[in-house]
Amino acid sequence: MIARLILLCLLALPSVASASPLAKDLFGAQRAGSQQKPQAIGDYAKGCGAGLVQLPETGPTWQAMRLSRGRNWGHPELVRFLIDLSGAARQLGWTGLYIGDMSQPRGGPMTSGHASHQIGLDADVWMLPPARLNLTRAERESLSSVSVRTEDQKRVTGNWTRAHHLLLKAAATDPRVDRIFVAAAAKIEMCKTAKPSDKAWLQKIRPLYGHNTHFHVRLKCPGGSQHCRRQTPSVAELSKGGDGCDETLTWWVTTYLDELRNPPKKPKGPRKKGPREFTMADLPRQCAGVLAAD
């Protein structure tokens, strides 16, 4: 307790904060959530989480994967959502869900991988339908998911099924969800096959590179999280009330893919600091209290 109080006092001093260790190392060293009221604090890519809880490693309709990473933590609202979604997957004919990275025990920047997943409201759900839900810890480290898009990124593979479409719809129509990131090919396919009268939910599906073996669910700021920063612009604002299908089918397969293959020159000037370079001074001040709490 004394050590945590000292840490809190030190982090409150600007001169010390500027020379403090990187935030990713401080948060990455945590092995348990803080005994605080659950709160998502800050931005999805610059914040932390108070009172986060652990998704049980195994449940009747899910298994948490890559346990060695210690990233199966989230706001209670996220844990409830994932359990609910795994139940929906069972109803669609799957055994359940394999759940990938969520957040660290107290959120914050990660030592590797994600830029976001910092406030306990992001989770990766594997595209691989579980064959069974009694994997050992070793199997959860070695098993890989499957890709649902072709190498040229424009079409889905044979791994894509109607159940994937319906699972993403179940997630997108949940009022707790702000947006879902998937491979562009998956959104394109859903735009093609959804009925015209049943496409409004597609506005929450956002194409993003690197999401071909999993989809990334992001929840809205939950009640009681007054320091949580709402995603701006919102999905509705991005799509201007539409489903985003027209812009996906034209913009993604032309401009964005060309930019990936031929990246534009970076503008001159200071490079923007990345999450793994953040110190505590870069995060909301409440995050020092999250680290210092029991």
Which of 140 and 3 is assigned the larger pLDDT? 140
Buried b (16+ CB within 10 A) or exposed e, 11-45: beeeeebeebebbbebbbebeebbebebbbbbbbb
What average pLDDT does this structure show over 67-88? Answer: 98
DSSP conformation class of 249: I
| HSE-CB of 97 using CA atoms within 13 angstroms | 29
13 pLDDT band, cuts 50/70/90, is very low
pLDDT one-digit tens code per residue, 26-59: 999 999 999 999 999 999 999 999 999 999 999 9
What average pLDDT does this structure show over 3-9? Answer: 48
CB-CB neighbours of 106 under 10 Å = 28
What average pLDDT does this structure show over 96-117? Answer: 97
How much is the pLDDT for 3?
A: 42
Q: What is the pTM of this model?
A: 0.88
Which of 16 and 276 is assigned the larger pLDDT? 276
What average pLDDT does this structure show over 179-186? Answer: 93
pLDDT one-digit tens code per residue, 259-269: 666 666 666 77
pLDDT one-digit tens code per residue, 224-260: 999 999 987 655 555 555 787 876 566 666 666 666 6
pLDDT one-digit tens code per residue, 83-99: 999 999 999 999 999 99
- Domains delineated in the chain: 2-262 (3.30.1380.10)
186 burial level (CB within 10 Å; 0-12, 13-18, 19+): buried
Residue 108 region by backbone torsions, left for phi larger than 0, else alpha for psi between -120 and 50, else beta: left
187-191, 196-200, 244-248, range with the lowest pLDDT: 244-248
Which of 250 and 282 is assigned the larger pLDDT? 282
> Under a CB-based contact definition with an 8 Å cutoff, are residues 103 and 74 in contact?
yes
What average pLDDT does this structure show over 2-12? Answer: 48
